[in-house]
Amino acid sequence: MFRIKILLYEADERFQSPEAELQLALQQLGFVAEFADRSQQDLGLDPERIAEFVNATPCDAWIVFAASRGILRWFAKQPFPFLAVFGNFVNGHAGIGPSHQQALEACLGELIRLGHQNISMFARKERRGPVPGPVEQLLIQTLEKEEIPIKDDTLPEWEESLSGFRACLASLFERDPPSAIIFQEPELVMAAQQFFASQGLKIPENVSLFCCDYDPRFEWSVPTIAHSKWDYKEVVQRALAWARNVSSGKTDEEVTIMVAQFVPGGTIAPPPSDKWNRETTGKVW
């Protein structure tokens, strides 16, 4: 039996799509497909610790979700096949993931057309620097081109926990409230909606919102969430094709890029005429 381990970014992703659907589809084809006992976050996102863990885990191939370039470079040097799903692809390995560049360009174009001058993006630590990721660079380059000031709050520093996330949002709106926020993950959108509601903020009247990813729940939200949409089933089908190839001894290093589309939704509107602050709402942080 051909054994495939799935290395996730976070352990809880095993309950989400496409991760859960991918594992099931592989099992239905007869592969021994299991999630690794540790996630990348469990291992501190440290390439050396991840290498030690992978080398100690018996299997025939790996599927790696949302890994950094450093982690993928290590995998690319190993004798076993692996498939990178999302993340920062490097040469010499198979991969699949969406490109959000076009969707983000459309979103930023719409925000700027509507008059937004204070835009923040919540990105994970490894994507903020020291060299920002492609999406983060696109934001900075667009603001520079439009002569919109780039601030520390453009890519805010935040502790990657619920309390750290809420504390960062509170700090943003206490100092210099952004008129639009771009989130990279649906989970952050859900947490932000709860925070906004608790503080009397309305979407999009007080703040516009966009997500650089897709979740079916967005279409059940009121207002519908503006987002970048791609078909996660393509990820599953590509992974199945890769598994068939490598399990039969074929080399498969094809990289498949899906172009995500901008879906405006109802969470993007002109910036508020008056900045939301403690004096106008009576809120105390």
pLDDT at 275: 52
Predicted confidence at residue 283, as pLDDT, reads: 46
Contact 179, 118 (CB under 8 A): yes
Contact 228, 263 (CB under 8 A): yes
Q: What pLDDT is attached to residue 274?
A: 58
pLDDT at position 278 = 41
At 14 the pLDDT is: 87
- How much is the pLDDT for 127? 81
Residue 22 exposure: Cα atoms within 13 Å on the Cβ side: 33
What are the structure tokens assigned to 157, written together?
């520093």
Q: What is the pLDDT along the chain (285 residues), one digit of tens a residue?
A: 999 999 999 988 888 778 999 999 999 999 999 999 999 999 999 999 999 999 999 999 999 998 988 899 999 999 999 999 987 777 778 999 988 899 999 999 999 999 999 999 999 887 887 778 888 999 999 999 999 999 989 999 999 999 999 999 999 999 889 999 999 989 999 999 999 999 999 999 999 999 998 888 888 888 999 999 988 889 999 999 999 999 999 999 999 999 999 999 999 999 997 554 444 444 433
Beta-carbon count within 10 A of 79 CB: 4
Query: 65 pairs with which residues across the strands?
Result: 85
pLDDT given at position 244: 97
Range 155-159, long-range pairs (CB < 8 A, 24+ positions): 155/120, 155/121, 155/123, 155/128, 156/120, 156/122, 157/128, 158/122
> Which domains, ranges and CATH numbers included, belong to the chain?
3-92 (3.40.50.2300), 101-228+264-281 (3.40.50.2300)
pLDDT given at position 137: 93
Distance CA(185)–CA(217), nearest Å, equals 13
Give the whole-angstrom CA distance, residue 84 versus residue 69: 10
